[in-house]
Amino acid sequence: MKQNKKRQRIRLAILIVSLLLFPITMNYLSPYVILYGASQGIINGSFIIFALLFISSLAFGRMWCSWICPAGALGEVCRLANDKPIKYKWLDSLKWVIWFVWLGTIAFFAASAGGYKIVDFFLLTESGISVDAPMKYIIYLIVVGIFMGLALLLGRRAGCHSICWMAPFMILGRKVRNIFAWPAFRLKADQDLCINCKKCSMNCPMSLDVNRMVTEGQMENPECILCAQCADVCPKDVIHLVFQSGK
Ligand code: SF4
Ligand code: SF4
Ligand code: SF4
pLDDT value at residue 1: 45
101 and 51: one domain? yes
pLDDT value at residue 3: 53
d(CA 206, ligand 3 centre) in Å: 7
**Ligand 1 atom at minimum distance from 62 CA:** 6
* Residue 65, ligand 1, Cβ within 6 A: yes
44 and 97: one domain? yes
186 and 160: one domain? no
227 and 186: one domain? yes
Which residue type is seen at 188?
K
Round to whole Å and give the CA distance between 138 and 141: 5
> Which ligand has the shortest distance to the CA of 203?
3
User: Among 160, 175, 190, where does a domain finish?
Assistant: 175
154 and 189: one domain? no
User: Among 125, 147, 175, where does a domain finish?
Assistant: 175
160 and 192: one domain? no
Looking at residue 231, which CATH number applies to its domain? 3.30.70.20
pLDDT value at residue 228: 98
pLDDT value at residue 172: 98
72 and 158: one domain? yes
* Residue 158, ligand 1, Cβ within 6 A: no
d(CA 189, ligand 2 centre) in Å: 10
**Ligand 1 atom at minimum distance from 161 CA:** 1
Determine the structural domain holding residue 191 and report its residue range.
Answer: 181-244
Q: Return per-residue pLDDT of the chain as tens, 247 residues.
A: 455 789 999 999 999 999 999 999 999 999 999 999 999 999 999 999 999 999 999 999 999 999 999 999 999 999 999 999 999 889 999 999 999 999 999 999 999 999 999 999 999 999 999 999 999 999 999 999 999 999 999 999 999 999 999 999 999 999 999 999 999 999 999 999 999 999 999 999 999 999 999 999 999 999 999 999 999 999 999 999 999 997 6
Question: How many folded domains does the chain comprise?
Answer: 2
Q: 81 — phi, psi (to 5°)?
A: -100, -35
142 and 218: one domain? no
Nearest CA to ligand 2 atom 1: 234
Question: What is the pTM for the complete model shown?
Answer: 0.95
* Residue 238, ligand 2, Cβ within 6 A: yes
Round to whole Å and give the CA distance between 152 and 167: 20
171 and 186: one domain? no
User: Among 154, 175, 196, where does a domain finish?
Assistant: 175
Nearest in space to 177 (alpha carbons), one of 65, 63, 61? 61
**Ligand 1 atom at minimum distance from 164 CA:** 2
12 and 104: one domain? yes
